[in-house]
A and B are shown apart, each in its own frame.
Chain A
Amino acid sequence: MTPEKLTQLSTPFSVLAAGILIAGAVLWNNGGPNTQVAAGMPNQPQGAPQPSGDLEAMSPITDDDHIRGNPNAPVKIVEYSDTECPFCKAFHATLQKAAQEYGNDVAWVYRHFPLDQLHSKARKEAVALECATDQGGPSSPLGTSNDAFWRYADRWFELTPSNDKTDIATVLPQIAKEIGLDGSAFATCLKSGKFDAHIEDNVQNAQATGGNGTPWSIVVTQSGKKYPLSGAQPYASVKQLIDLALQEK
C-alpha cells in the first residue's frame, strides 16, 4: 500500500473510528454492564459487585417511601433526586403539575440520589428532608410524616438556588421553623446519622436501576412495567408517558 493510499484511507477510517467509539459508548451506557469504580469512591458501595442498570432492581414501593398522591394509584413515578440539582428543582415543579392534573391516577415517590462529587451539600439536605419526616405523625400539627416531608421538600426547592449556593447552616433550620418543626429536635436529628444508611440505600438503588445523573425517574404501570425517564423532561413528554402508562393494564 502506497503512502498516498494510506493518507487517503486514514481520513475515512478516522471518521469511522469516531463513529464506532461514540456508538459503542452509547450502547454500553444504555445496555451494557455498569462500569462504575467500586471501592474508595464516595457514593459507591464499598467492594460490592457492580450490578448492571436494571429497572427490575428498583426497590419495591412501600409505606416507608415518601409518596405524594394515592399510594394505590395505577401509575407511580419514582423519582431519584438531588436537592442541589437545578434540573431536579425544575422537575419538581413539573411533577407537582402532574400530581395536580392526574389526581388519584398518579402517585409520585421521592427517593434520594445526592451526587456528592458535584454537590457536596446535597447529602446533608437529604438528611434534613428525612428529619422533617421524622417529626410528622398522627398527632403532629404538621400532619402525617409524609405531609411534613413534602412540605419541607416543596419549600426547599421553592426557596433555594441549587448548585451548592445555599448556606445550609441557616436555611435548613429556617425551613424547619417555617413549616412548624421543633428546631431542637431537628438539629439533633441532623447530627444523629440515623438516616445515613437509608439515603445510601436510595443512592445505590438509583445506580442499580441505571441512574447516572439526576433527576432519574422510573414510571411504573399497574402491571409492573417500568419506563425509565432521565433528566428534566418537558411536561408534555411526562404527560405522554403517564398517558401511555395509564393505558397499560
Chain B
Amino acid sequence: MIIQALQKVFAKPLFVLLALIASLAAFAFAVWLPNLRLLFLIWTDASVSLGDKLALPISLLASIATNFTVLSASYTIAIAILVGVNTALIVHLIQVRGVFGGGAVIGASGIFTGAIGLGCAACGSLILTSLIGTAGGISILALLPLRGGEFGILGVVLLGYSTYLLAKQITKPLICEPTDIKV
C-alpha cells in the first residue's frame, strides 16, 4: 500500500522535486541549527562577498560527519527524507481530496518530536534547551540512555506512521461515503 501510494505520487516529477526540496530544507535546518547565529551574522554582513555567504553554509553541511554521532546522523537523515515524503503525500492529498486527516497530525508530531532530538549530542538538544533552559535540558538529556537520541528515534517512528496513514488515504478509492441517511 505504501509502495503503491509512493509510486502514484512520485510518478509526477513535480512531487519528486517538492519532496527533494522539503528534505533538503529539513536536512539543512538540522545541520545548521547549532550555527544559525553565525549564518545570520555572515548573511547580514555587507562586507562579506556573495561567494563566502554561500560557501560557508555549504561547507557546514558536512558537519553531519563531524558534529553528529552515528545514531543522531542516521535519524537526522531519516527525518529529512521522511519530511520530504510526507510533504509530497500531504500536498497530493490536498490536491486530490481537498482535506487531509490524522496522517498529517501524526506527521507534524513526528517533525516536532524529531526536532526536539535535534542538535548534536555535544551541543545538546537545542530545541529542548530552548524550551526548558540549558541546565534543565542538559539534565534531562543526561538521564536518558541515548542522551536525547530517543526523541530522534521517536520522530522517525511518528513520521513513518504518518507516511503509512497518508498512503492509506491516498490509496482509498474516491467514493462518497454515506453518513446518516434520514428518510
Contact = CB atoms under 8 A, between A and B. Distances in A.
Contacts of A25: 126-127, 130-131
Contacts of A12: 104
A207 interface: yes
Contacts of B130: 25-26, 28-29, 35
Interface in A1-56: 7-8, 10-12, 14-15, 18-19, 21-22, 25-26, 28-31, 34-37, 41, 43-44
A38 B134 CA distance: 11
A231 to B, nearest CB: 4
Contacts of A228: 35, 37-38, 41
B123 A214 contact: yes
Q: How large is the interface on B (under 10, 10 to 19, 20 to 34, 35 or more residues)?
A: 35 or more
B112 interface: yes
Contacts, number: 157
A231 B123 contact: yes
B95 interface: no
B133 A37 contact: yes
Contacts of A207: 134
B63 to A, nearest CB: 5
A231 B101 contact: no
A26 B107 CA distance: 20
28 contacts: A14-B105, A22-B127, A28-B130, A29-B127, A31-B37, A36-B133, A36-B135, A37-B135, A37-B136, A85-B122, A117-B135, A117-B138, A118-B141, A212-B129, A213-B119, A213-B124, A228-B35, A230-B38, A231-B123, A233-B35, A234-B62, A234-B66, A236-B62, A240-B52, A240-B56, A241-B38, A241-B56, A244-B48
Interface of A: 7-8, 10-12, 14-15, 18-19, 21-22, 25-26, 28-31, 34-37, 41, 43-44, 85-88, 90, 94, 115, 117-118, 207, 210, 212-216, 227-234, 236-237, 240-241, 244, 248
